[in-house]
Chains A and B, each alone.
Chain A
Amino acid sequence: GENVEQHPSTLSVQEGDSAVIKCTYSDSASNYFPWYKQELGKRPQLIIDIRSNVGEKKDQRIAVTLNKTAKHFSLHITETQPEDSAVYFCAASFRLTFGQGTILTVHP
């Protein structure tokens, strides 16, 4: 089955800086890669996703890149704000296999 590794487990940045979270996956047949944001005690919410026929996707301050050859994908958040502080999960495949999560803290 699919296996997803996510790094780093914690990330601390100053407001306005960029944040990058990286994930690798094992199953070359996977073709869907969403990113979820989860605040404490809340449900996961999709922030961006990418399909395997696209190498990059951007939505305002958030972008995702995918390297199918290397089987890794990354989340980039620019101009971070304190409200970006949360746990971020990458996932792969149709029946989602999640990474271990990254606790992002944005300091004002």
Chain B
Amino acid sequence: GAGVSQSPRYKVAKRGQDVALRCDPISGHVSLFWYQQALGQGPEFLTYFQNEAQLDKSGLPSDRFFAERPEGSVSTLKIQRTQQEDSAVYLCASSMGQGGIYEQYFGPGTRLTVT
């Protein structure tokens, strides 16, 4: 079946612009995670949804970052007033379970470059 998809794959934004990054998880997957991966680093946790509920947003670096998953499926990560330090690959992952630990399947990522 289809895996996790993300769009756009590449985004160039001028400093100060707002961006919206989309994640389509695997159908039926309850849990959805966002990670930020800087060049040459491991992914870093941003936020976690279980269905439509955002259960953990402790990794969001500032109040310019906002994520939503209103119908418990597609999720959007929004970054307001982008800064150069926001340049990174944003990865989305989904997993089937809730209340337990299940494999996380990653999307291809969105590479954001802020100029």
A residues at B contact (CB < 8 Å): 6, 31-32, 34, 36, 42-46, 49, 51, 89, 91, 94-101
Q: How far is the CA of A99 from the CA of B40 in the complex (A)?
A: 11
Q: How far is the CA of A101 from the CA of B44 in the complex (A)?
A: 12
CB distance from A90 to the nearest CB of B (A): 9
Interface size class of B (residues with CB under 8 A): 20 to 34
Nearest residue in B to A43 (C-beta to C-beta)? B106
In the bound complex, do residue A43 and residue B101 qualify as a contact, i.e. CB atoms below 8 Å apart? no
In the bound complex, do residue A43 and residue B43 qualify as a contact, i.e. CB atoms below 8 Å apart? no
In the bound complex, do residue B91 and residue A43 qualify as a contact, i.e. CB atoms below 8 Å apart? yes
Contacts of B18 in A (CB 8 A): none
In the bound complex, do residue B43 and residue A98 qualify as a contact, i.e. CB atoms below 8 Å apart? yes
Contacts of A99 in B (CB 8 A): 42
CB distance from B88 to the nearest CB of A (A): 14
Out of B44, B91, B101, name the residue touching A44 (CB < 8 Å). Answer: B91
A100/B101 contact (C-beta < 8 A), A43-B91, A43-B107 known? no
